[in-house]
Chain A
Amino acid sequence: MYRRTLLASAAALAMAAPAYAQDEPVTAGFIYVGPVGDGGWTYEHDQARLAVEEHFGDQVETIYQENVPEGADAERAITQMALSGADIIFTTSFGYMDPTIAVAEKFPDVKFEHATGYKTAENVAIYSSRFYEGRAVLGTIAGAMTETNQVGYIGSFPIPEVIRGINSAYIHAKKVNPDVEFNVVWAYTWFDPAKEADAARALIENGNDVILQHTDSTAPHSAAEEAGDVVTFGQASDMSEYAPFPRVSSIIDNWAPYYIDRVQAVIDGTWESTDTWGGIDSGMVGIGEITDAVPEEVRAQATEVMESIESGEYHPFTGPLNKQDGSVWLEEGETASDEDLLGMDFYVEGMTGEIPN
């Protein structure tokens, strides 16, 4: 306790002086919305925190607080972290947006990084990943693997982030299998293993033999394993304990490259407020190993999609694409703007069902 107090005052001194390169260890703080053992969203952020520790060794100290509810408690938790001497604080959930901005105003010398939000400030940067790029790869595999042509999708909340993923997966599933249909179930939770298991079972019993999920627990994999012939994909983390089957691949949140980069910037004194939206090429969106359960040619197809996105020659949302109601969204060859993607509130043509509001 005292050690940290001392460190904090040292850090304060270091910042008071116009030093560009810090000699004192930098403290990086992390605010988590769930427990570090959730096996999904928070788990991956914590893995990245550990990667930061390993990368920098004695140069960087990390602190974290888990299970911080969004809202009133978040603002206090972030403030206390800033007071304890953190130099850079990563707030890792959308609901921390307003609290992060509010605390940042009070601590102009501390750098803040808010995940998945859209408000920035002088000392607040935002970052997120282009998960839809990864979903394009998974969609390709899903479309090829389904025998019933029914793909189930467990959605969390009907927000642009999730809708983007559904559209991207659907477009690419349809490319390899024109007869494919997607059935979306909204669980209205990011993390509730029992409910996710029920959702997966409901989809399986309704004839879906491939399940994609945008919720964070491994429960759907257990349900698929029990059913025997259903394909699943890891979400947020690799979930490789269910490989090679039912989990045939996964979309992985890999925050480590970004976190290391940003902490390095603080050490170098070059940190600036930025808006990062990293995709497969930046390493922030990872595709887990495609297992042998997937036929050779499908693996090749998926890998090709992945590589063309990574190299930048292909955008997952490339026209011609129509909206669900048949109106034109993207002309031949046109690619979606980031603004369109960030506010996406519609399905593309061919999707059945409505987005609840």
Chain B
Amino acid sequence: MDLSSISPTLLVASIMVSATPILLAAIGEMVVEKSGVLNLGVEGMMITGAVVGFAVAVETGSPSMGFVVAALASALLSIVFGVLTQLLLSNQVATGLGLTLAGLGLSALIGKPYEGMRSPTLPRIDIPGLSDIPFFGRVLFGHDPMVYFGLGLVLAVWAFLKFTRAGLILRATGESHDSAHALGYKVVRIRLAAIFFGGACAGLGGAYLSLVRVPQWTEGMTAGAGWIALAIVVFASWRAGRVLIGAYLFGGVTVLQLNLQAAGVQVPVALLSASPYLVTILVLVIISARGQHGAPASLGRPFHASN
């Protein structure tokens, strides 16, 4: 066994890139769940973002444009979910699954003409001087803008939920929509906004896959990343900081596993791939055994004002 060929710098940098799509999707879904809505359609929204972002980047030649339109498109799709669950009071689990089904189908149809094409991708930001600092230079300053955007978003969501009045209202809605309603807050509107935000984030995550991480468009290319994002939210017990840790853990396991193999180490691949999920279950058990309400109390429950 010779691990010397694995460079910790590059490993960490790699993990940051491979975690970014699930980080973006997970932080969005966390906000959705904080408002008391469980949207299982993350996979569908991510892949829609992936194809739309790619198509727009190819057509306009601008990856930034791709990201913007991808966010809008996925947010629009998430509004279908929002209307169904919030206005027509459909079951959230079933609607979310339907969203995934529809998103996978829709993306494959949109993507047909773009298969095998190449798109412009985001360049790495290289700050002369800073990027050359050993270890920290490459890890902290050698990425493309979206990696920083993802980190910034986590910080922003954390601050929003903790310090702002709007964040407080959002959390209150998720804990008890009836009380929030009694206090005069527009529960449905707040949740629709959260769903919209979650959709946009999932779209960005998808677009990051097709525009930076892979980068190309192929049918079904998210390959379960949306489901992993859902797992991360649970793992993080609905806290922004832990979403970051969760994303790096989930994204990191695959990268680490492949790196160990590349260094010539025999690894139990199945066990390693399953481990983040087992850890998530363990975390869930610990939270609930402590008697804390990890999950927002109204999560997944429909709200109707006339009750």
- Show the binding face of A for B, using Cβ within 8 Å: 35, 37-39, 43, 152, 183-188, 191-195, 197-199, 201-203, 205-208, 217-219, 222, 241, 352-354, 356
Contacts and interface: CB of A to CB of B under 8 A. Distances in A.
Nearest to A354: B266
Contacts of A199: 258, 262
B223 A37 contact: no
Contacts of A198: 14, 18, 254-255, 258
B218 A193 contact: yes
Given A37-B115, A39-B115, A194 B258 contact: no
A179 to B, nearest CB: 16
B118 A194 contact: no
Interface residues of B, number: 35
Contacts of A195: 223, 254, 258
B225 interface: yes
Interface stretch (B152-160, B208-216, B285-293, B297-305): B208-216
A186 B225 CA distance: 20
A162 to B, nearest CB: 14
B179 interface: no
Given A39-B115, A185-B262, A206 B14 contact: no
Q: Interface centre among A43, A198, A208, A353, by most B CB within 10 Å?
A: A198
Query: A-B pairs with the 7 shortest C-beta distances?
Result: A37-B115, A202-B258, A205-B10, A206-B262, A35-B219, A202-B259, A185-B261
A35 B108 contact: yes
B216 to A, nearest CB: 6
B216 A202 contact: no
A87 B10 CA distance: 55
B284 interface: no
A194 B209 contact: yes
B214 A352 contact: no
Contacts of B90: none
A92 to B, nearest CB: 17
Interface string B59-97: 000000000000000000000000000000000000000
B213 A202 contact: no
25 contacts: A37-B116, A37-B218, A38-B115, A38-B219, A39-B115, A43-B116, A183-B262, A185-B261, A193-B218, A198-B258, A199-B262, A201-B14, A201-B255, A202-B255, A202-B258, A202-B262, A203-B262, A205-B6, A205-B7, A205-B11, A206-B7, A206-B259, A206-B262, A222-B216, A354-B266
A202 B115 contact: no
Nearest to B255: A198
A206 B5 CA distance: 5
Given A186-B269, A199-B258, A241-B118, A353 B215 contact: no
Contacts of A197: 213-214
Interface string B245-264: 00000000011001101111
A241 B10 contact: no
Contacts of A201: 14, 255
A288 B261 CA distance: 29
A219 B258 CA distance: 15
Q: Interface centre among B118, B218, B254, B262, by most A CB within 10 Å?
A: B262
Given A185-B262, A205-B262, 16 more contacts: A35-B115, A37-B112, A37-B116, A39-B218, A194-B222, A197-B214, A198-B14, A198-B18, A201-B255, A202-B14, A202-B255, A202-B262, A205-B14, A205-B259, A206-B262, A352-B264
B11 A219 contact: no
A222 B209 contact: no
Contacts of B266: 353-354, 356
Nearest to A196: B214
B105 to A, nearest CB: 11
A185 B218 contact: no
Nearest to A207: B5
Interface in B212-256: 213-216, 218-223, 225, 254-255
A97 to B, nearest CB: 24
Nearest to B115: A37
Nearest to B113: A37
Contacts of A205: 6-7, 10-11, 14, 259, 262
Interface string B1-19: 0000111001100100010
A226 B116 CA distance: 18
Contacts of A188: 269
Contact of A194 (B108, B213, B269): B213
Contacts of B216: 39, 193, 217-219, 222
Contacts of A184: 261
Nearest to A205: B10
Contact of B261 (A37, A186, A207): A186
A192 B18 CA distance: 14
